[in-house]
Amino acid sequence: MNAQDAAKKVLDTMLGHLGFTATIELEEDAEGHCLQIQTADPALLIGHEGDRLDDLQYLVNRLLRKHYEEPPRIKVDCNHFRSMQEQKLREEVLSLADKVRGSGRPFQMRPLNAYYRRLVYQFLLNDSEIEATSPSGESRLKRITLQQKQS
């Protein structure tokens, strides 16, 4: 069994033990593999701002790392919640980058977890004028600062 099928089986087992009736589809997207959960009551699985999805995703990926040498990173989504959040974040980042370009002043974003911070860096990867930095430390949520690149 490959890692993606194992991830789907693990997630299906977890949801079954939690009492959820759902279908799970393995999708490919720009970032890799996504387990898309379809359920009639997504709010219970998504949680507050996706925190329960984060927890499910963390558990699935931890279990894969335990059983596979170099497993792919698996994203867990429910009724396309993360996809919509990622699009909103992309729009926010590009808008803030334009503000930085226009004003020359740095702008600080709202606190983001590691997954969303990684997306911000990817969104700005090919931008020759704007860079993103985040503070070091152990905090789960950090504020990224967008600023003009120093020559």
Q: What is the pLDDT of residues 31-40, one digit of tens each?
A: 789 999 999 8
For the chain, domains (ranges, CATH) are 3-79 (3.30.300.20), 85-148 (3.30.1370.50)
Rg (alpha carbons) of the chain, rounded to whole number: 17
Question: In angstroms, rounded to a whole number, what is the distance separating the alpha carbons of residues 135 and 63?
Answer: 29
Residue 151 has pLDDT above 70, yes or no: no
Percent of the chain with pLDDT over 90: 68
| Whole-structure pTM value | 0.76
Cα dihedral sign, 123-84-11-140? positive
Q: How far, in Å, CA of 120 to CA of 107, rounded? A: 13
For residue 140, pLDDT beyond 90 = no
Nearest to 7 by CA among 30, 25, 29, 31: 25
For range 50-72, the mean pLDDT: 92
Confidence at residue 114, expressed as pLDDT on a 0 to 100 scale: 83
